[in-house]
Amino acid sequence: MTLRIQCLCVDTPNPGRLAGFWEEALGWRRTFERDDEVVLRPPMGSPEEGVAPDLLFLKVPKSHVTKNRLHLDLRPDDQEAEVARLEALGARSADVGQSADATWTVMADPDGNHFCVLRPLTEEERAEDASENVPV
């Protein structure tokens, strides 16, 4: 079977603004832009290029009002530093009912879409993922 996910679509009243946040957050490149849609792709030559789906920001008339049915989990090398960097870009901490001992931080982008910043992988977990050919 030759099927792959081409893009993850994000509805937003302002595609350019929200794409700008994620462009900075992920370090991805803007490859297409109109008033009603913007496409972000991984950097050329990066391990994600050709593997990770594009992010497609589509204009909709209403803002986000309910819990996401799909969200991104981001794996940084330094969770605390990454949370601070994302907050400086316009993200904020969010409470979706996670426990106090959660190892991840739930955040919301400027439109209120939730995403998680996970703890870094341990060296053992990195070695295990590498041996299973799982991208870290």
**Domain segments of the chain: what residues?**
7-61, 71-136
**Residue 112 is encoded by which pair of tokens?**
């209120």
Q: Residue 115 pairs with which residues in a beta bridge?
A: 72, 107
> Does the domain made of 7-61 have the CATH classification 3.30.720.120?
yes
Q: Which residues contact 19 (CB under 8 A, 6 or more apart)?
A: 30, 33, 38, 40, 55, 57
Give the CATH number of domain 71-136; options: 3.10.180.10, 2.50.20.10, 2.60.120.10, 1.10.10.10.
3.10.180.10
In tens digits, the chain (136 residues) has pLDDT values of 787 889 999 999 999 999 999 999 999 999 999 999 999 999 999 999 989 999 999 999 987 777 777 899 999 999 999 999 999 999 999 998 899 999 999 999 999 999 999 999 988 888 887 776 555 4
Model confidence, pTM? 0.83
Please check whether the two domains, 7-61 and 71-136, share a CATH topology.
no
Across the chain, which distance is largest between two alpha carbons, in Å?
46
